[in-house]
Amino acid sequence: MHLENDEYAVMREANVLYTDEQPMPASIRRITLIAGAAMVVTFLIAAVSRARAGDTGTAMLLGTVGLLLGVFDIVVLPNLLTPLRVRIEGDTLTVGIGVFPPTRVALRDISSCRPVLSPGWGSATRIPPRTYPTPESGATGVDVRTGRKQIWFSSQDPETVCRLINAGGNTG
């Protein structure tokens, strides 16, 4: 059976129970900008100091490195870390952030799901898990039977996410 691209997309979307895509919150982006600017200023101060001492080669190197690190921190890093994607499709929860490989967990392997008290943005699979605190979103915590790990991730509607996960993806 041959399907056109839009027909396949419609069939695939029919199996999606929940999807959430969140950009990096403004508060975290501000921190990134401040850190990038501080990095540039620090390296430029060091470069000027080396230039005054007559070491122009080191001064040029420090200035260049500072500018490159600042550009990376201000422009590249936020784009690598956004968006945060949460998706419940069929019997699978997928949580991914930016360009990094997403975490996929079968709903049957999740022993519990609950909204967590500290809201945050991001995702984590370590013990104890941690998201980045922001007022823009809520957070969801799930316990996974296999591997005995916890996954926390920010979501715009933690109650709905948990209701779908606790139902095992069965909505009907």
**pLDDT value at position 11?**
45
**pLDDT value at position 132?**
44
Check pLDDT > 80 for residue 168.
no
State the average pLDDT over residues 54-64.
87
Q: Between these two residues, 148 and 16, which has the higher pLDDT value?
A: 16
Residue 104's domain comprises 5-23+83-166
Task: Count up the domains in the chain and report the number.
Answer: 2
Task: Tell me, yes or no, whether 172 lies in a domain.
Answer: no
Query: pLDDT-based confidence at 124, cuts 50/70/90?
Result: low
- What is the reported pTM? 0.66
CATH number at residue 115: 2.30.29.30
**pLDDT value at position 40?**
85
User: Do 16 and 34 have their domain in common?
Assistant: no
Q: Between these two residues, 58 and 78, which has the higher pLDDT value?
A: 58
Cβ contact 108:168 at 8 Å: yes
Which of 39, 57, 80 finishes a domain? 80
Cβ contact 111:132 at 8 Å: no
Kindly give the pairing relationship between strand 92-97 and strand 84-89: antiparallel
User: Do 56 and 99 have their domain in common?
Assistant: no
User: Do 37 and 10 have their domain in common?
Assistant: no
User: Do 156 and 74 have their domain in common?
Assistant: no
Task: Report the C-alpha gap between 21 and 27 in whole angstroms.
Answer: 17
Which of 64, 80, 96 finishes a domain? 80
User: Do 46 and 76 have their domain in common?
Assistant: yes
User: Do 16 and 55 have their domain in common?
Assistant: no
